[in-house]
Structure 1
Amino acid sequence: MVRIAVAGGSGQVAREVIDALVATGKHEITVLSRRDLQSADATDPGVKQRTVNYGNVHNLTEALQGVHTLLSFVQILSDPNQESQKNLIDAAIASGVRRFAPSEYGSKGTNHMAWWAGKEAIREYLEEVNATEKKLEYTLFQPGLFLDYLAFPYKTAKYLDPLQSVFDFEHRRAIVVDGHEDAILTLTTVSDLSEIIARAVEYEGAWPRHGGIRGNRLTFSDILRIGETVRGHFDVDKVYLEDLRAGNLKTSWGLEAVHHAVSDDQAAELLRAVSIGILLSSVEGAWDSSDSMSRLFPDFKFTTAHDFLVRAWDGKP
């Protein structure tokens, strides 16, 4: 049995992970939240809930007494200075927490993705606090892009909402950087991520610092081939590096669905920036996650992109 605290536990990915942890029947789980969780976003009845002040290290230290593993799902966009996670790290060290996972759950690199600059700030802070001695064991859970997003607009997980990507299976179209069709994307279902995290919590060895989780490692061309097998012919908009680097996205279509944490007045600019950022960063290898965490569990069978997409789009118009 491991005592686990989940910060930002009302978020979509957090709730997927909490369900996987609860399903093991082995752990004592406490969700930390800024507010009392209402019935609409309450977790399993067996999961404890505790209201905390992320601006108060003393309050967080008290809440983390006796906790073995702290998983953070704190929303990065809502905390530009990342004070919440820095305070969580300080409190975890003060209270004797053994393991910590910051709010990651995406690409291994953040280049060209300013909306994820907070991840770099926390990575640097973790290195800083461990510079002279290892005060806190941690890993960066990095599953790449959620495979679930290729089923947009259909929901394929219990909590995770659909989001658009540069691969639009609904309308059979995609955006690809000309000459870089071999750029790599790691694609992992949120369910598989959750199962790996549940296993990692029980793993008795040291966590790898870069917790790469590689469900599928595919090139843009691979994804298009699977897409055409599942959905038929795709129209492909080719874009050029020089345009992207200049901030120009010259395509016949663009993303329209934005993350719930983004305000309406920020949406249009962020959607354009997300497309440009994902395309540029993929060319530079930011989405080519390692398998350093997933290879600790060689018996685990990941959901393949082909099988997932066949099921997701079966019978869809």
Structure 2
Amino acid sequence: MVKVAIAGGSGQVAKEVIDVLLATGKHEITVLSRNEAPLEDSLPGLHWRVVNYDNQADLVEALRGTHTLLSFLQLFSDPEATVQKKLIDAAVAAGVRRFAPSEYGSTGTVNMPWWGGKERTREYLKKVNENGKILEYTFFQPGLFLDYLAFPYKTTKHIDPLQTVFDLENCRAILVEGHEDAIMTLTAAADVAAIVTHAVECEAEWPEIGGISGNRMTFSQIIALGEKVRGRSFTIDQVKSQDLEAGSLNTSWALEKRHQAVSEEQSSDFAKKVSIGILLSSIKGAWDVSDELNQLFPDHKFEKADHFLESVWKGKP
């Protein structure tokens, strides 16, 4: 049994992981939150601890006896990683053994300024251990959730559908001209939750980079698979990298569904930035995720993109 603390436990990805951790019946799990638990989050076996991230003593006390601390703090509202750094300091002071910062995406952050907090956290953790390992940590990096290619259909209990540059509903996609072979790693949310749970239970030392590679595919392979499961050709908007670098997105369509952490006022501009950022970062290798945790847990069978998408889209108009 491991005592696990979850920061940002009311988030959608956090809830997917919490469900799997609870299902094992092995762990004492405490959610750290600024607010009292909503009624729907009051689950058997799940403790809820209200904390003040500006009160170091309170944070340290909340983390006493914790073995593993998983962070799902929302990065959009903490671009300087100020809150997450406070969490790390408290973890060190409380003697927490393991920590996983809020990641759950690409390996690189180039051209994705909304994830600048990840880089600041990564650098901060290096400084924590610069004179010897004080805090064991890993960066859980699964690439893009495979579930997003099911948009607008929901394929998980908690994670809302989200649009991407691969629009299987309308049989269209956006790619960068001359970069059809750019890599995108796609991993099902269920696999991510399972691997995180395996990692919590694993006694071996965590690798610093926790790559989780469900499906490693090129843009052209994803589009070809989309055409196969939808039974029709896709309309492809090809954009020039120099236009993207200049902040211009010359396409016939745009992302409309906003992330739940983005305000309605920010939605339109942010959707454009996300499209540009994902396209540019993909041609620079940011979504070509490694597979350290695949190797650590070789018995885990990952959901394959073809099987997943065929099951989602079968019979859909």
Structure-1 separation of matches of 2:145 and 2:54: 31
Find the counterpart in structure 2 of residue 132 from structure 1. Answer: 131
Deviations 1:30-76 (A, max 9, x none): 01110001113x14221111000111111110000000000000001
For 1:226, the equivalent position in structure 2 comes to 225
Q: Distance in 1 between matches of 2:257 and 2:190?
A: 22
Amino acid at match of 2:253: W
Task: State the distance in 2 between where 1:80 and 1:245 align.
Answer: 22
Give the secondary structure class of the aligned counterpart of 1:286. coil
User: RMSD value over aligned CA atoms?
Assistant: 0.8
Is contact 2:79-2:114 (8 Å) kept?
A: no
User: CA deviation digits over 1:262-288, x for unaligned, max 9?
Assistant: 112211111001000000000000000
Q: Distance in 2 between matches of 1:83 and 1:15?
A: 23
Does 2:106 align with 1:114?
no
Q: Deviations over 1:105-151 (max 9, x none)?
A: 00000000010001111001101111111110000000000000000
Amino acid at match of 1:48: H
C-alpha displacement of 1:86: 0.6
The answer as to whether partners of 1:177 and 1:240 remain within 8 angstroms in 2 is: yes
Measure the CA separation in 2 of the matches of 1:301 and 1:293. 12
Sequence identity percentage:
62
> Do residues 45 (structure 1) and 40 (structure 2) align?
no
Q: Aligned with 2:292: secondary structure?
A: coil
Counterpart for residue 296 of structure 2: 296
**Counterpart for residue 35 of structure 1:** 35
Segments of 4+ moved more than 3 angstroms: none
Structure 1 length-normalised TM: 0.98
Partner of 1:174: helix, strand, or coil? strand
CA shift digits 1:83-105 (9 cap, x unpaired): 21111100110111000000000
TM-score in terms of structure 2 length: 0.98
Q: Give 3-state SS (helix, strand or coil) of 1:115's partner.
A: helix
Q: Which residue of 2 aligns with 1:247?
A: 247
Q: Are 1:285 and 2:285 counterparts?
A: yes
Q: SS in structure 1 opposite 2:266?
A: helix
Residue number in structure 1 paired with 2:64: 65
Distance in 2, matches of 1:250 and 1:310, equals 31
Q: d(CA) in 1 for partners of 2:82 and 2:134?
A: 19
- Structure 1: how far apart are the matches of 2:257 and 2:54? 32
CA distance in 1, matches of 2:115, 2:128: 21
Q: Partners of 2:155 and 2:148 in 1: how far apart?
A: 9
Q: In structure 2, what is the Cα distance between the partners aligned to 1:38 and 1:201?
A: 26
Aligned to 2:199: 200
For residue 92 of structure 1, what is the aligned residue in structure 2? 91
Query: How far apart in 1 are the matches of 2:106 and 2:271?
Result: 17
What is the aligned partner in structure 2 of residue 236 from structure 1? Answer: 236
Question: Which one-letter code corresponds to 1:169 in the other structure?
Answer: L
User: Equivalent residue of 1:264, what SS?
Assistant: coil
1:20 aligns with 20
Per the TM alignment, residue 5 of structure 1 is displaced from its structure 2 partner at its CA by 0.2
Question: Are the equivalent residues in 1 in contact too, given 2:183–2:288 (CA < 8 A)?
Answer: yes
For residues 214-250 of structure 1, what are the alpha-carbon distances to aligned partners after superposition, in whole Å with 9 as ceiling and x for unaligned? 0000000110111011012111001111111111100
User: For residues 81 and 114 of structure 1, what CA distance do their matches in structure 2 show?
Assistant: 11
The alpha carbon displacement at 1:81 in A equals 2.6
Q: Is the 8 A contact 2:110 2:286 kept in 1?
A: yes
Matched, 1:275 2:266: no
Whole-angstrom CA distance in 1 between matches of 2:55 and 2:83: 9
Q: Distance in 2 between matches of 1:16 and 1:44?
A: 13
Displacement, 1:169?
A: 0.4
SS in 2 for 1:185: strand
1:78 shift after superposition: 1.3
Counterpart AA for 1:7: A
Report how far residue 80 of structure 1 moved. 2.7
